[in-house]
Amino acid sequence: MTASSMILRNPGAAPVDPADLARRFTASALATDSPVTPNARFDDWFAGHRVANRFEVTRIPFGDLVGWRFREEDGNLVHDSGGFFAVTGLEVRTDRPGTGVWAQPILDQPEIGVLGILVKEFDGVLHCLMQAKMEPGNPDTVQLSPTVQATRSNYTGLHGGKRTVFLDHFMDPARRVLVDSLQSEQGAWFLGKRNRNVVVEVFEDVPEHENFRWLTIGQVHRLLARDNVVNMDTRSVLSCVPFDAPDGQGRHPVGGNYHSALLRSLSGAARGLHDTKQLLGWLTEAKARHSFRRRQLPLAEVPGWHRTETEIAHEEGKHFTVVAADVRAETREVTRWTQPLLAPVERGVAAFLVRPIEGVLHLLVQAKSEAGLLDVCELAPTVQCMPANYQGSRPPRYLDVVLGAAEESLRFDAVQAEEGGRFDHADNRYLVVEVGDEVPVADDPDFAWMTLRQLMELAQHTRYLNVQARSLLAGLHATW
């Protein structure tokens, strides 16, 4: 497969040249400010939305949910319409070390959602139409969302609210699609959930809307360094965008060994420790090496979990709880509703270890199995866990390296929220940690070193990178 095979060419639309597309996206990423929406004006606008668009989220007993019920025959928590999502049970059996057999509740949402960003050139530079959007589970109320962020239940009007703004641009058969791929969501919490990550270019005038602003990719990258500003869906879409290595020092005039190694890693001319064919063979071997079987269970029969009037929780207080919430939000298509939310017990950690190998920055990725993934495993960060889950047991490999990293070795460090529409105050500390020879080049069959270019090209295809790896990939692009 090639990166160009990702780009869909629609009947009647002008063909998209992959090299030119990467050049245009790179130029947008290098533009860290814009006269269309200057950074200072954006900061004021966004802060104003966070103040003005407050909302109330109140935890309630399950019995107060409207339109939701525990189904009598299996105890699954379902919506009366049969849409949206359900909370069901899942049993997993694997021979991976330290895992074995476990059972858990999981969100079952078999429909495919749309995560779409409209782009348009202003003065020769691509700008993205970004939305200030609230979600009930967001730690900081409003976050920066794609132009369209909608489940099938939402965009088909099952919620009974207003039509999603700008959705027609993504439904038009004649649209000019620049990026388009199906990507997974949290495999530990969703059963086979996927979203269509799509970028569509427009040439006509787009009506102004108080909740939307045009930003360059560089302006969005600037915001990635801030805690809980750029939402998960935006990070996911931006991770699928192809870039070229910028000329010179990129956006960092000081440069330095990290930045020069990073730019070589992004360049297609730089040689990696392994070629892409070898890495795909390694991933195939990782999928075949271990057994991985799963079956759905009635929620009422999931061992180790108990249900009260207000939560479904693990008997040891680990992992997450399922709770019910009453939501009031004047700026949403529906202004009041109730729903279940999954609430993790603590902040997670997701980190890439990186190191130069022969002058080219490499990232240490792992082939990680998760309960709800459609495939046996996907590429994940070096470390991806909630540390509290490992109290009294062996922690994940390299967790000690990440948590013990000196501040001067941190190349990216920000707290980023996960999907606020299904999860309550779920966030991870996302880190890129530079290491040296103390982390060996090869000693574990479940880990492999890859260049940034290799990871970026795989992100343009379906079912290679998990959502945490895609979030970190977006963060890495912000460090050019």
Q: d(Cα 280, Cα 459) in Å, to the nearest integer? A: 13
Query: Left if phi > 0, otherwise alpha if psi is -120 to 50, otherwise beta: which for 35?
Result: alpha
Of 13-27, 70-84, 335-349, 460-474, the poorest mean pLDDT is in 13-27
Q: Which amino acid is at 129?
A: L
Residue 195 to residues 161, 181, 307, 365, 437, Cα–Cα distance (Å): 21, 8, 30, 22, 38
| Cβ pair 415, 429 in contact under 8 A | yes
Q: d(Cα 90, Cα 301) in Å, to the nearest integer? A: 10
Of 90-104, 106-120, 200-214, the poorest mean pLDDT is in 90-104
Inform me whether the pLDDT recorded for 333 exceeds 70.
Answer: no
Q: Residue 45 class from Cβ within 10 Å (0-12 exposed, 13-18 middle, 19+ buried)?
A: middle
Q: Which amino acid is at 208?
A: E
Q: Which amino acid is at 304?
A: G
Determine what percent of the chain is predicted with pLDDT higher than 70.
93
Q: What is the pLDDT of residue 154?
A: 62
Question: What is residue 408's DSSP assignment?
Answer: G
Residue at 79 is within a domain: no
Which pLDDT band, with edges at 50, 70 and 90, does 290 fall under? confident
Residue at 215 is within a domain: no
Task: Supply the angle between the helices 452-459 and 257-266 in degrees, to the nearest 10.
Answer: 40
Inform me whether the pLDDT recorded for 1 exceeds 50.
Answer: no
Question: Mean of the pLDDT values across residues 277-288?
Answer: 96
The predicted-structure confidence for 46-69, as pLDDT tens digits, reads as follows 999 998 877 889 999 999 999 999
Question: Mean of the pLDDT values across residues 347-371?
Answer: 97
Q: What is the pLDDT of residue 143?
A: 97
Lookup: tokens for 459 = 């992100």
CB atoms within 10 A of CB 445: 11
CB atoms within 10 A of CB 51: 10
Of 216-225, 323-332, 408-417, 420-429, the poorest mean pLDDT is in 323-332
Mean pLDDT of the chain: 92
| Helical spans, DSSP H, in 57-118 | none
Q: Which amino acid is at 147?
A: T
| Cβ pair 86, 78 in contact under 8 A | yes
Element (H, E) at 299: none
Lookup: tokens for 148 = 């369209």
Q: What is the pLDDT of residue 415?
A: 98
Residue at 404 is within a domain: yes
Q: What is the CATH number of the domain that holds 375?
A: 3.90.79.40
Say which residues have a Cβ less than 8 Å from residue 168's Cβ, sequence separation at least 6: none
Of 137-146, 157-166, 216-225, 420-429, the poorest mean pLDDT is in 157-166
Q: Three-class SS of residue 404?
A: coil
Inform me whether the pLDDT recorded for 292 exceeds 80.
Answer: yes
The predicted-structure confidence for 103-161, as pLDDT tens digits, reads as follows 999 999 988 999 999 999 999 999 999 999 999 999 988 999 999 998 765 655 554 55
Q: d(Cα 257, Cα 411) in Å, to the nearest integer? A: 12
Residue at 374 is within a domain: yes
Which pLDDT band, with edges at 50, 70 and 90, does 14 fall under? low
Inform me whether the pLDDT recorded for 9 exceeds 50.
Answer: no
- Rounded (10°) CA dihedral 98, 102, 105, 107: 60
Lookup: tokens for 214 = 């045009």
Q: What is the pLDDT of residue 15?
A: 77
Q: Residue 216 class from Cβ within 10 Å (0-12 exposed, 13-18 middle, 19+ buried)?
A: buried
Q: What is the pLDDT of residue 12?
A: 45
Of 121-130, 157-166, 265-274, 331-340, the poorest mean pLDDT is in 157-166
| Of 227 and 391, the one with more pLDDT | 227
- Look at residues 47, 455, 19 and name the one whose alpha carbon lies nearest to residue 276: 455
Q: d(Cα 288, Cα 277) in Å, to the nearest integer? A: 17
Residue at 462 is within a domain: yes
Determine what percent of the chain is predicted with pLDDT higher than 90.
80
Q: d(Cα 131, Cα 146) in Å, to the nearest integer? A: 6
Say which residues have a Cβ less than 8 Å from residue 144's Cβ, sequence separation at least 6: 46, 130, 131, 132, 133, 220, 223, 229, 230, 231, 234
Residue at 87 is within a domain: no
Residue at 434 is within a domain: yes
Question: Mean of the pLDDT values across residues 188-193?
Answer: 96
User: How many CA atoms lie within 13 Å of 426's alpha carbon, on the beta-carbon side?
Assistant: 27
Q: d(Cα 7, Cα 17) in Å, to the nearest integer? A: 9
Phi, psi (deg, nearest 5) at residue 475? -65, -40
Phi, psi (deg, nearest 5) at residue 132? -85, 110
Which pLDDT band, with edges at 50, 70 and 90, does 336 fall under? confident
| Of 79 and 249, the one with more pLDDT | 79
Question: What is residue 394's DSSP assignment?
Answer: P
The predicted-structure confidence for 437-467, as pLDDT tens digits, reads as follows 999 998 799 999 999 999 999 999 998 999 9
Q: d(Cα 346, Cα 38) in Å, to the nearest integer? A: 36
Residue at 4 is within a domain: no
Which residue range forms the structural domain that includes residue 397? 257-293+347-477
Of 2-11, 255-264, 268-277, 331-340, which one has max mean pLDDT?
A: 268-277
Q: What is the pLDDT of residue 13?
A: 58
Q: How many domains does the chain have?
A: 1
